[in-house]
Amino acid sequence: MKNKIVLITGATSGIGWATALEFKKAGAKLILCGRRKERLELLDNKLGGEQKLLNFDVRDKNEVFKSFESLPENWKDIDLLINNAGNAHGLDPVQSASLEDWDSMIDGNVKGLMYVTKAILPSMIKRKKGHIINLGSIAGKEVYPNGSVYCSSKAAVDFFTRGLRIDLNPLGIRVGAIHPGLVETEFSDVRFKGDKKRASAVYQGMEALTAKEVASSILYMANVPEKVTIADMIILPTRQANSYINNRKNSL
Ligand code: NDP
Ligand code: 8X3
């Protein structure tokens, strides 16, 4: 990873934040993205050295393209894009779920990831070189009750990843996805709109993955020789069998 330019979306928290720490340790030059500017600055200070910070909402097509155009020329040749930004909003049956929640998930997790990909691709295409790793989820492999739209958004990430790998195959650009199970981050705080009690119950007795464990798996995917592509990686806590079968400690 030494001196490779790595762009991470959703670097202000959780998996993205931990991925920034892992890749910095590995010698990468980082472009860090997120909406919360103060968090980006905090991370930048923690990392030390030089990073580029891009403060935009992935749902805003114009902002996405303008942000990449604003990078200095010597930061534009991105070697690795980590499409991590995303969240769940709500956990409700279709009949009572909020349309605003649906829009946030489809616009951010699906269309946002597509916009970012489209914005960085020209430089990879020109160089016939590059690597894209998308954050899917076990939720995109199997649907669970009340998660229809979040699960759909992650299934879309899975299929977009596969399509992208086909389209970019003649150009030698690597494309893969990682699909974690439960990872204890701010994810459930966001899903339950700040209800901390409900958020922490999600991980109770699960020995959930840490963001660092996911980050080191992403680093592993990135570090394999260029002739190798890890196309799809599912990583679960051992207590989780799939997106809805969980063996919680102390549960009978
Ligand atoms: P966090 O809530 O901790 O982090 C989400 C990150 O995404 C934040 O940095 C947030 O930044 C960014 N983000 C969200 N929406 C937008 C947006 N519209 N524009 C720009 N940035 C955005 O959750 P995780 O770290 O857990 O989630 C990271 C990814 O991993 C997501 O794609 C999630 O779906 C996926 N995932 C998570 C799992 C889990 O159990 N936690 C399991 C499987 C997959 P900011 O708010 O500053 O913009
Ligand atoms: C996040 C995992 O099971 O909370 O993608 O939806 S889950």
- CATH (domain of 32): 3.40.50.720
Q: What is the pLDDT of residues 6-21, one digit of tens each?
A: 999 999 999 999 999 9
**For residues 153 and 109, is the Cβ–Cβ distance under 8 A?**
yes
Please tell me the pTM assigned to this model. Answer: 0.98
**Within 10 A of 205 (CB to CB), how many other CB atoms are there?**
13
Counted domains in the chain: 1
Ligand 2 pocket: which of 134, 141, 150 to mutate (most atoms <8 Å of CB)?
150
What is the mean predicted confidence (pLDDT) over 204-212?
A: 98
Q: Above 70 in pLDDT, residue 174? A: yes
Task: Tell me how far apart the alpha carbons of residues 101 and 8 are, in angstroms, rounded to a whole number.
Answer: 24
pLDDT of residue 250: 80
**For residues 204 and 177, is the Cβ–Cβ distance under 8 A?**
no
Q: What is the pLDDT of residues 66-80, one digit of tens each?
A: 999 999 999 999 999
Q: What is the pLDDT of residues 93-131, one digit of tens each?
A: 999 999 999 999 999 999 999 999 999 999 999 999 999
Could you tell me the distance, in angstroms and rounded to a whole number, from the CA of residue 86 to the centre of ligand 1? 4
Q: Which ligand is nearest to the CA of 10?
A: 1
Residues with CB under 6 A from ligand 1: 10-16, 34-36, 39, 57-59, 84-87, 108, 112, 135, 137, 180, 182-183, 185-187, 190, 211
Range of the domain at 200: 5-251
What is the mean predicted confidence (pLDDT) over 184-202?
A: 98
- Closest C-alpha to 180, from 238, 113, 233: 233
